[in-house]
Structure 1
Amino acid sequence: MPVHLNHTIVPATDRDATAAFLVEILGLEPAPVYGPFRVVSLGNGVSLDVARADGDVPPQHYAFLVSEPEFDEIWGRIKERGLTFWADPYHQRPGQINTNDGGRGLYWSDPDGHNLEIITVPYGGW
């Protein structure tokens, strides 16, 4: 069997609020509780297991490969909420999207400062 990523833990100051934020913005099913986690399930069988963190939350980067229609839906929710978004991971190009590798991409932050990204074409292209 080839190796697949199954899940990763997302630290959060408020587990429930962060899971709800991810579910709402990404257009996913509600995140059930599993032990200390809120499990945000993605379409490829990978889950983001959101856990409450004590103290400071070190910001991480989470990138999501989405279809063109999904990109438009997610971007629409980001704009509806008045969230700042950027075309680049260093947040130097606010209010813009990128067209890297012939697709579209953008970055925004979750409530704890995790750098979230959506792209329609994987890095390096298809």
Structure 2
Amino acid sequence: MTAHFNHTIIASTDPAEMAGFYRDLLEADDAPSWGPFVNIVIGGGVLLQFAAPPTEFPPQHYAYLLDDEHFDRAHARITESGRAHWADPQRSRPGEINHEHGGRGVYLLDPSGHYLELITRPYL
């Protein structure tokens, strides 16, 4: 298998705010930005590019695999900020985390309304 994920553009109502939110939550590094993009880089050299789209956009789902210590720090940031979060994608278990797939997980919305999932164990 030679394909590796390289980058994605995440539609953003405020690209700078989104980059800051993701940078803090994912403990990402800044990356050079250009044109309409505000960029950060996460593990494996994956570039996340935030840009305002020319039209309205539907919310997307983005899942991030964190180690246990990073998950603890991210969950603490989420709860300390008062940000709504759920144990499930249906949002029926507010304020909780799940213990599925042999790890832990949590769902939340980013500042542009995308669904984020933070997990400590991969599905596969």
TM-score range, shorter chain: over 0.9
How much does 1:31 deviate? 4.8
8 Å CA contact 2:39–2:47 kept in 1: the answer is yes
Gaps of 5+ in 2: none
**Aligned positions of 1:1-126 closer than 5 A:** 2-124=2-124
Report the residue type matching 2:116 in the other structure: L
1:11-62: per-residue Cα shift (whole Å, max 9, x none)? 0111111111111222222354222211121111111111112342310011
Report the residue type matching 1:102 in the other structure: G
Q: Could you say what secondary structure the match of 1:112 adopts?
A: coil
**1: distance between equivalents of 2:31 and 2:22?**
9
**1: distance between equivalents of 2:116 and 2:31?**
18
Q: Could you say what secondary structure the match of 2:77 adopts?
A: helix
**2: distance between equivalents of 1:31 and 1:92?**
36
8 Å CA contact 1:20–1:31 kept in 2: the answer is no
Gaps of 5+ in 1: none
Report the residue type matching 2:11 in the other structure: P
How much is the aligned-residue C-alpha RMSD, in angstroms? 1.4
Q: Could you say what secondary structure the match of 1:44 adopts?
A: helix
TM-score by length of 1: 0.91
Q: Could you say what secondary structure the match of 1:116 adopts?
A: strand
- The structure 1 segments of at least 4 consecutive aligned residues displaced by more than 3 Å after TM superposition are none
TM-score by length of 2: 0.92
